[in-house]
C-alpha cells in the first residue's frame, strides 16, 4: 500500500470542500445530489440529471461550471436541432477561397444540455464520439477536445410528449444518472428565505471559481492512485454480475458499469477525506451508476418497481466484504 502516501488527501479535500460549500449556498436541500456531482466531476464522468421542472437541475450544472474556472456552454435540445448545430460546420471563406471549419458549442469544457431527450436520434448520436472519445470527427478530420470535458444532461421524467428516448448505448456513456427529488418543508422554507431578496441569477453573479482547469485535471489523475482492496473489486463485480442473472431485470449492466462504480467509489472516498475505498463508498455510488444501465422486466415495470428499487435490493443481498 506504499502508493497511497503519494496522494495528498488533505489538500484535495480542502479544495473540494470549497466547491461543495459554493454549491450548497444556492442549491438547498440536495445534499446527496451535491455529493454525486462532486464525485462525477473528479471521476471524469458525464452526468444525467433527472427531475421535474423547477427542481434546480440547470442551476446545479451552472453552479458546477461557475466554481470551476473553465469554459461553459449551454445547449437547449429541440426536435429540429441538427448535428451541425452541436459540432459545427464548414463555412466558405471568400478571402481564402476555401472552406474553414467553424467549431460548434460542444467545443467547450463543461457543456450543459437541457432536455437532452428532445432532440432526434441523429442529433443524439453526434454526442456518442464526443462523450466517449473526447473528440469530434468532421469531414475526415479529428479534433481533440480540450481537457477537462464534462457533459451534464437534464431530462424531465414526467413529460414525454415530443421526446426521444435515449438509446442504451448513449445512456451507458453517462457515469451517473442522478434523480433529483422535491425538497422537504424545512428545505423549501430555507430556499424562500435565501432567494427572498435576490433571485438565483443575481446571486450566481457573486459566485467565484475555486478550481482551475489544471487543478481539476490533477485531481482526476490523483483519483487513480486511491487504494482499493481486492475483496472490494470482487464486491463490485458481484454487484454488477447480480444484474445479469436477476429475474427482475430484462437487461443487466455491462463491464463498463463495474469500471464506473470503481472510479466513482475512488472519487467519493477522496471527497470524504480518505485515500482508500470502503464498502460504503461503493454502496453510495452504485445506485446512480447502475439505474440507467439496467432495464427492469416488464412485470416489474407494471408493478411500478423502479430500477433504483431493484439495485437497492441487490445491494442488500450481495455479501459485503469484512
Can you give the pLDDT of all 322 residues of the chain as single tens digits?
444 445 567 777 888 888 999 888 888 888 899 999 999 999 999 999 999 888 889 889 889 989 999 999 999 999 899 988 999 888 877 777 788 888 999 999 999 999 998 888 888 888 877 888 898 888 788 889 999 999 999 998 877 666 778 878 888 999 999 999 899 999 999 989 988 877 777 788 888 889 999 999 988 988 988 999 999 999 999 999 999 989 999 999 999 999 999 999 999 999 998 989 999 999 999 999 999 999 999 999 899 899 999 999 999 999 999 8
Neighbour count for residue 231 (Cβ, 10 Å): 11
Do the domains 226-322 and 11-221 match in fold?
A: no
Q: Residue 100 forms beta bridges with which residues?
A: 91
Predicted local confidence at residue 8, as pLDDT: 67
- By the 10 Å C-beta count (0-12 exposed, 13-18 middle, 19+ buried), 97 is classed as exposed
Annotated domain spans of the chain:
11-221, 226-322
Total residues belonging to the chain: 322
Pick among 3.10.110.10, 3.40.50.2300, 3.40.50.300, 1.10.490.10: CATH of 11-221: 3.40.50.300
Tell me: domain 226-322, CATH 1.20.120.530, correct?
Answer: no
- What pLDDT, on a 0 to 100 scale, did the predictor assign at position 4? 43
> What's the 3-state SS for the chain?
CHHHHHCCHHHHHHHHHHHHHHHHHHCCCCHHHHHHHHHHHHHCCEEEEECCCCCCHHHHHHHHHHHEECCEEEEECCCCCCHHHHHEEEEEECCCCEEEEEECCCCCCEEEEECHHHCCHHHHHHHHHHHHHCEEEECCEEEECCCCCEEEEEECCCCCCCCCCCCHHHHCCEEEEEECCCCCHHHHHHHHHHCCCCCHHHHHCCCCCCEEHHHHHHHHHHHCCCECCHHHHHHHHHHHHHCCCCCCEEECCCHHHHHHHHHHHHHHHHHCCCCECCHHHHHHHHHHHHCCCCEECHHHHHHCCCHHHHHHHHHHHCCCCC
Residue pair 213/147 in contact (Cβ under 8 Å)? The answer is: yes
> Could you tell me the sign of the dihedral formed by the alpha carbons of 191, 31, 48, 63, in that order?
positive
Contact present, 277 and 269 (Cβ < 8 Å): yes
Amino acid at each position: 500500500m506504499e502508493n497511497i502516501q503519494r496522494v495528498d488527501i488533505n489538500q484535495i479535500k480542502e479544495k473540494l470542500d470549497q466547491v461543495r460549500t459554493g454549491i450548497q449556498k444556492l442549491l438547498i436541500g440536495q445534499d446527496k445530489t451535491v455529493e454525486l456531482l462532486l464525485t462525477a466531476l473528479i471521476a471524469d464522468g458525464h452526468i444525467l440529471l433527472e427531475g421535474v421542472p423547477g427542481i434546480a437541475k440547470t442551476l446545479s450544472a451552472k453552479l458546477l461550471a461557475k466554481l470551476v474556472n473553465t469554459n461553459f456552454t449551454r445547449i437547449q435540445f429541440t426536435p429540429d436541432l441538427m448535428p451541425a448545430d452541436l459540432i459545427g460546420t464548414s463555412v466558405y471563406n471568400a478571402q481564402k477561397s476555401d472552406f474553414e471549419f467553424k467549431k460548434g458549442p460542444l467545443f467547450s469544457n463543461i457543456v450543459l444540455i437541457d432536455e437532452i431527450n428532445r432532440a432526434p436520434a441523429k442529433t443524439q448520436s453526434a454526442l456518442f464520439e464526443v462523450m466517449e472519445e473526447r473528440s469530434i470527427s468532421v469531414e475526415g478530420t479529428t479534433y481533440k477536445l480540450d481537457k477537462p470535458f464534462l457533459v451534464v444532461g437534464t431530462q424531465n421524467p414526467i413529460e414525454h410528449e415530443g421526446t426521444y428516448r435515449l438509446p442504451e448505448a448513449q445512456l451507458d456513456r453517462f457515469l451517473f444518472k442522478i434523480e433529483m427529488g422535491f425538497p422537504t418543508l424545512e428545505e423549501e422554507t430555507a430556499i424562500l428565505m435565501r432567494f427572498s431578496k435576490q433571485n438565483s441569477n443575481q446571486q450566481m453573479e457573486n459566485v467565484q471559481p475555486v478550481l482551475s482547469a489544471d487543478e481539476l485535471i490533477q485531481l482526476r489523475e490523483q483519483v487513480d492512485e486511491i487504494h482499493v482492496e481486492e475483496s472490494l473489486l470482487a464486491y463490485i463485480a458481484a454487484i454488477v454480475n447480480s444484474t445479469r442473472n436477476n429475474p427482475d431485470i430484462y437487461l443487466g449492466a455491462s463491464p463498463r458499469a463495474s469500471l464506473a462504480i470503481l472510479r466513482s467509489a475512488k472519487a467519493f472516498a477522496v471527497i470524504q477525506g480518505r485515500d482508500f475505498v470502503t464498502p460504503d463508498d461503493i454502496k453510495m455510488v452504485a445506485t446512480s451508476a447502475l439505474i440507467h444501465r439496467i432495464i427492469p422486466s416488464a412485470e416489474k415495470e407494471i408493478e411500478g418497481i423502479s430500477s433504483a428499487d431493484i439495485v437497492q435490493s441487490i445491494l442488500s443481498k450481495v455479501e459485503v466484504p469484512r
